[in-house]
Amino acid sequence: MKCYVCGNRLSEHDFCTACGADVGAYKKIMKTSNALYNDGLEKAKVRDLSGAVSSLRLSLKYNKRNIQARNLLGLIYFEMGEAVSAMSEWVISKNLEGTKNIADDFITALQSNPTQLDTINQTIRKYNQALNYCHMDSQDLAIIQLKKVLSINQNLIVGHQLLALLYIAGEEYEKARQTLMRAIRIDANNTTTLSYLKEVDRVLREREEKETGKKKKSQGEVYSYTSGNETIIQPGYAKEKIGFSSIINIVIGIVVGLAICWFLVLPARIEKATAENDAKFISVSEQLTAEQADKEMVKEQLSESQQEVRDLQQQIDEMTGNAGTITINDYLNQACTIYLEDPDNAEGIMEALGNISPEALSEVSSTFSNLYSKLYSAAGLHAVKQYMDKGRAAMRSSEYQVAIEQFEKAWALDSSDSDILMNLAHAYRQSGDTQKADELYIQLMRDFPDTQNAIDAEGYITTPVG
């Protein structure tokens, strides 16, 4: 706080320490101004804009240089839709305090947006036009114009108030009430708004009471009539029929409930169930695919195993077949065993060796072949001798078939001995088969031409040689 005479900063004393001027009253004025500013600020915080304007204007009446109060007043005017008043306050504030003044920012913000400024100007013009319509009794036009104004500038308190007044004049109290409530949301404690609202509420309450009274009266009506000497008074209201109408109401309720279930609840349930089923289906499909893949793999393995089994079986068959190596070895072992047990059993040895086919001998090892040859040569001559002896004995006992058999065996073992062939031919001749005997005689003459047997054979031939 500065002295109004010399501008020196004042102390706690009631006089200026620089010039000695009495500043007691001045200090009180300044304090009052500040207190009113605080009051205005508090009111503005609770949206009591009208009260704040009163306090701030009073504050400025005490101290026109209260810059904060003037700036706040401008801001409140702007909030109430009165941009021109706001602008004038800020301009004055800026003139009084040129530096570090927030009013400068407000003015700059407003002037830097020409569109907003133009909109504000149009709003003001339309409001003035609406007011003009009111004075000319064109209230409908005024309402239309005010609606336009309020759609652009919703905070114009006077606009709301004027519109509410027009609604009240047209007895549209509900609309008036709505408009006033909107105004109250902007300025909570505006005297004009509150007075209009009070009037509107009063009228609405009266109307409601009137309607309620009518209903009560209609409910409270009584009927009276005379029956003989007695006057009967009966209540006017009819007893509610609760029978059939109740059933209808219940049925309607059930139908509505079912419809809600059908149209709201059921689709949601179905959708949920479908989603769950889809998820299950996908899961099962994945499992099935995996199992099918496993099955294919198992099949493939089985096929491979079966093929292996077949191959092995084939190998086993080859190894254990009649012409197989094992069988040949067995026969050779058998022959060896017989030879070791009884070297004179040449027939047994030859019988065992006879089971080994000549084709098989071409595929055996050299060891096998050597052993076979030694056994064959060791037992062969002996066996031939035995067969020959048996054959001769049979011939002597006239058992020619046996003799043929024995000589055949001997001839099979040793085809280099012409005696065997000669005896075989004799056996056939004695048995009566001269044709076969002749063939053998001829064979003997051909194979052993310079022998005694060949010469003798020529004499035994019954059929002349052609």
Nearer to another protein, 5 or 454 (CB): 5
Structure tokens at 410: 């001997």
Least Å distance between CB 43 and another protein? 21
Residues that bind another protein (CB under 8 A): 4, 25-26, 29, 33, 60-65, 82-85, 87-88, 91-92, 117, 120-121, 124-125, 127-128, 131, 134-135, 158, 161-162, 165, 168-169, 192, 195-196, 199
Q: How many Å apart are CA 187 and CA 56, to the nearest integer?
A: 15
Least Å distance, CB 148 to another protein, is 15
Instruction: Report the nearest approach of another protein to the CB of residue 102 (Å).
Output: 18
196 or 448: whose CB is closer to another protein?
196
Look-up of token digits 């009884």: 342
CA atoms within 13 A on the CB side of 86: 22
Q: How far apart are CA 310 and CA 316, in angstroms?
A: 10
Nearer to another protein, 195 or 435 (CB): 195
How would DSSP label each residue in 363-393?
A: TS-HHHHHHHHHHHHHHHHHHHHHHHHHHHH
The 3-class SS string of 80-107 reads: CCCHHHHHHHHHHHHHHCCCCCHHHHHH
Q: DSSP assignment, residue 225? A: E
- Residue among 117 and 371 whose Cβ is closer to another protein: 117
Contacts of 68 (CB under 8 A, 6+ apart): 37
End-to-end Cα spacing for the chain: 178
Q: How far is the CB of 16 from another protein (least distance, A)?
A: 14
CB of 41 to another protein, least distance (A): 19
The least distance separating another protein from the CB of residue 165, rounded to whole angstroms, comes to: 6
Select 135 or 241, whichever has its Cβ closest to another protein.
135
Query: In terms of CB distance, is 92 or 402 closer to another protein?
Result: 92
CB 428 within 8 A of CB 409: no
- The answer to whether the beta carbons of residues 266 and 260 sit under 8 Å apart is no
Q: Least separation, in Å, of the C-beta of 168 and another protein?
A: 6
Which residue, 53 or 168, has its beta carbon nearer to another protein?
168
